[in-house]
């Protein structure tokens, strides 16, 4: 077996495109620095809303296959070679938005047994032995059932892998500090007439917004802004990009954040001054971890 790099990062996301929006700059930065970056995507997003009219015919399994190709293209832009589907392709399907009949589909991720799904993730953890895991908070950032389930599965896998003798030293949740988002949206409102977008989203439309004091870690990915934008653009069924902004299917413009923010929820913060945020997800993690 090939020896793994000394730094190993695992990200757990619900659908193709979530990784590029939330963590694209972080993934590109650590991949460029030689860390082993592993992405586990839990579904193929078969129930996503398609933006381009020329692709509107894609639904169900056909959309899932197309989005898998988009994911491959996005990972090429970020320099990430290790990306997988939880339990293999087609194991869990998209659950649709909360409260829809889609949630009751027995094959959807929302209906998955958490321990069973977590066991698939533990297999990945045993193989790559990550020191850092990144996923959503317990509300999935914005309440989508697949995001909530990805959180549950990831956190359960952390417990199970520790019981199996493969602990993960640091676990983070995706976050965005409210002051940063408010400032970014103020710029967006000024710039909006010069963009192809008609209307801006609101601050509370952004997943994972929290007070600034909740932020423990700030990853500066500005050197990888172009890679993040390119990865988002690769998810063409779901995202329209006009740097430094983008829209989803709701056509409401949002800023592309290239500094990305996290809350450490398990593990010890790296050594920094009192009240000072970490600038590295691996801060304080020894190479022998």
194, 37 Cβ separation under 8 angstroms: no
Q: Coil, helix or strand for 269?
A: coil
129 in the Ramachandran plot: left (φ > 0), alpha (ψ -120 to 50) or beta?
left
Q: Look at residues 92, 93, 154, 88 and name the one whose alpha carbon lies nearest to residue 125.
A: 154
CA atoms of 230 and 222, how far apart (whole Å)? 14
CA atoms of 22 and 30, how far apart (whole Å)? 15
Beta strands at 36-41 and 82-85: parallel, antiparallel or unpaired:
parallel
4, 47 Cβ separation under 8 angstroms: no
Q: Is 147 assigned to a binding site? A: yes
Taking the CA atoms of residue 29, residue 181, residue 200 and residue 50 in that order, the dihedral angle to the nearest 10 degrees is 40
The annotation places the binding site for Zn(2+) at: 15, 18, 147
The annotation places the binding site at: 15, 18, 147
């Amino acid at each position: 077996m090939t020896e793994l790099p000394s730094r190993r990062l695992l990200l757990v996301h619900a659908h193709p495109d979530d990784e590029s929006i939330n963590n694209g700059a972080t993934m590109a930065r650590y991949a460029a620095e030689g860390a082993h970056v592993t992405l586990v995507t839990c579904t193929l997003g078969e129930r996503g809303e398609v933006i381009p009219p020329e692709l509107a015919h894609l639904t169900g399994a056909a959309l899932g296959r197309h989005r898998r190709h988009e994911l491959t293209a996005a990972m090429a832009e970020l320099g990430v070679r290790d990306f997988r589907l939880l339990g293999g392709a087609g194991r869990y399907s998209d659950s649709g938005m909360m409260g829809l009949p889609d949630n009751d589909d027995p094959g959807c991720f929302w209906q998955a047994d958490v321990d069973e799904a977590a066991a698939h993730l533990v297999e990945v953890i045993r193989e790559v032995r990550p020191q850092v895991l990144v996923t959503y908070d317990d509300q999935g950032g914005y309440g989508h059932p697949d995001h909530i389930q990805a959180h549950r599965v990831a956190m359960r896998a952390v417990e199970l892998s520790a019981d199996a003798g493969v602990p993960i030293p640091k676990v983070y949740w995706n976050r965005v500090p409210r002051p940063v988002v408010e400032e970014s949206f103020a710029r967006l409102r000024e710039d909006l007439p010069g963009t192809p977008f008609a209307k801006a989203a609101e601050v509370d439309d952004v997943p994972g917004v929290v007070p600034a004091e909740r932020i423990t870690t700030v990853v500066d990915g500005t050197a990888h802004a172009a890679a993040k934008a390119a990865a988002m653009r690769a998810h063409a069924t779901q995202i329209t990009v006009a740097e430094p902004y983008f829209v989803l299917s709701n056509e409401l413009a949002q800023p592309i954040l290239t500094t990305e923010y996290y809350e450490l929820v398990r593990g010890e913060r790296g050594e920094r001054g009192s009240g000072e945020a970490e600038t590295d997800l691996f801060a304080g993690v020894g190479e022998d971890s």
